[in-house]
Structure 1
């Protein structure tokens, strides 16, 4: 059997061992990125090589899992995999995310502790060389914060479906005590709690660095039954949520190549124009954040719609102009 097929079999076995409910044939196809016949052959090879595989009836289909995990030999990570874990932890720490960095660093220590000493000794020189050869460029922008105690309280409330209370203070507004049904967390340029107001049911976002006295309460507070955090996050260009609109941008020919490789939004479509320019369309909220981003495109980006985005850009330009005028006084 070719080496790449052997790697696919081991990877599929790892997937079966990592899933508590087991993998269906459709799950296996997704993991392998292969057709049904190839996936069936890979599954049969796993069944032959790993007799501990359990077959679970899940009408109208079946699932397969490996209880008890795999041996250290079959699970040893590569130097590249360990490098990505190290870089992810370093990236969080460089961005000021000490709690999330500590969690990944703890995972890294556990993984290394589980590796056989001979394998770890063989990997160490390559890992050290790769760590020295790669780094993460820290981008200018807000320095997000996520207190470990606050994160633990929020995550506990999410898992237990309990209400969450906290004091929320926004600049220029009086601090208020809020009581919400927590829906999840969004991490980005700033870190946010996504929650449903217990009185109105309205989904709102709250910056973690503006929250204090965070405490899970008694009783039950569930998110709306149809709420999807991924779909909610995908509505906005950034984090801020407001009215969703159809955005149309024209990127000039000199910026078209970069625009084609840019991920503007999950709903984006790109249209090639006769003059070499590119028209980008997507549906999103967060016009102010989008206007800020469009500053980086300079003269290459033209806003065709909506009007609210044009207004946001004009207001941002005016604010920048006023700041320059003050600096010249």
Structure 2
């Protein structure tokens, strides 16, 4: 068996050991990026190499898992894997989110503590060299920070399906006590609680840095059955959720190549034009955040629709002019 095939078999074994319920053949194929027949051959190789693997009946299919985990030999991380973990923690620290960075740093320490000293010593020089050769470019923007106690309380309420109580304060508005059903968390330029508000019967977002006196309440509070957090998050261009609109932008020929390589939105579609420009189409909310982004294209992005985005862009330009005039 070639080395790359052997590595794939070990990787599949890790997946089988990491799954409490086991993997079906289709899930193996999806995880490894191969066809079903190849996945079956890889499964057979795993069963031969790891006799502790077991088959589980789950009609109409079958699952396979490895109970008890794998040995440190099969689980030893690579220098680049440890580097990415270290960089992820450094990125969170640089962006002002030390509590989440501490979680990754704790995981890094646990992984190193579980490694054989010979493996750790062999990896150390390469890891040190890579850490010196790579860094995080910190960009201007809000510091999203999330209090460790607040995060723990929200996560506990989500797991317990309990209502969440907190005081919410916004600039220019009176602080209010809110009781909501927590649906999840969104992390980005700012960190948000996503929750169902019973009195309004709708999903809303709440910035974590504006929440205080956070506690889980008594009773049950389950999110709406049809709610899907990734789908909700993908509706907006940024974080802010409002009316969803059809967006069409024309990117000038000189910036078309960059636009084709840009991830605008999960629903995006690109259309090349005869003059070398490209039309970008997607459906999203958050027109103000989109307008802010379009400033970075230095006049090379023309708004075709919607009209509201044009109005928001004009409003932001007027604010900018007023600042300069002042």
Structure 1 length normalisation: TM-score?
0.98
Q: Does 1:76 align with 2:76?
A: yes
Q: Does 1:95 align with 2:95?
A: yes
User: Which position in structure 1 is the counterpart of 2:291?
Assistant: 291
Alignment-derived partner of residue 233 in structure 2 = 233
2: CA distance between counterparts of 1:66 and 1:104?
A: 26
Post-superposition CA distance 1:78-116 (Å, at most 9, x none): 000000000000000011101100000000000000000
Name the CA distance, whole Å, in 2 between partners of 1:144 and 1:172: 20
Aligned-residue offset at 1:43: 0.7
For residue 315 of structure 1, give the secondary structure of its aligned residue in structure 2: helix
TM-superposed CA distance for 1:198, in Å, is 2.4
In structure 1, list runs of 5 or more residues that go unmatched. Answer: none
CA shift at 1:36, angstroms? 1.1
The ranges of structure 1 where at least 4 consecutive aligned residues each deviate by more than 6 angstroms after the TM superposition are: none
CA distance in 2, matches of 1:206, 1:171: 13
1:265 aligns with 2:265: yes
Secondary structure at the aligned position of 2:262 is classed as coil
Please state whether the residue corresponding to 1:316 is helix, strand or coil.
Answer: helix
Distance 2:200 2:321 in 1: 40
Secondary structure at the counterpart of residue 299 of structure 1? coil
State how far apart, in whole Å, the 2-side matches of 1:283 and 1:149 are.
Answer: 36
Kindly report the root-mean-square deviation, in angstroms, between the aligned alpha carbons of the 2 structures: 0.5
CA distance in 1, matches of 2:52, 2:200: 51
- Cα drift, residue 124 of structure 1: 0.3
Displacement after TM superposition at 1:200 (Å): 2.5
Match of 1:45 in 2: 45
User: What does the per-residue CA deviation read over 1:270-311, in whole Å, with 9 as the maximum and x for residues that have no partner?
Assistant: 001011111000000000000000000011100000001001
Query: Is 2:147 the partner of 1:147?
Result: yes
2:279 corresponds to: 279
| Whole-Å separation in 1 of the counterparts to 2:123 and 2:315 | 55
- Show the counterpart of 1:178: 178
State how 1:1-329 maps to structure 2 within 5 Å: 1-326=1-326
User: For 1:30 and 1:135, how far apart are their aligned partners in 2?
Assistant: 33
Distance 1:221 1:154 in 2: 13
TM-score when normalising by structure 2? 0.99
- For residue 86 of structure 1, give the secondary structure of its aligned residue in structure 2: helix
Q: How far apart are residue 37 of structure 1 and its match?
A: 1.1
Q: How many residues of Structure 1 are paired with residues of Structure 2 in the alignment?
A: 326
Alignment partners' CA distance in 2, 1:153 and 1:201: 23
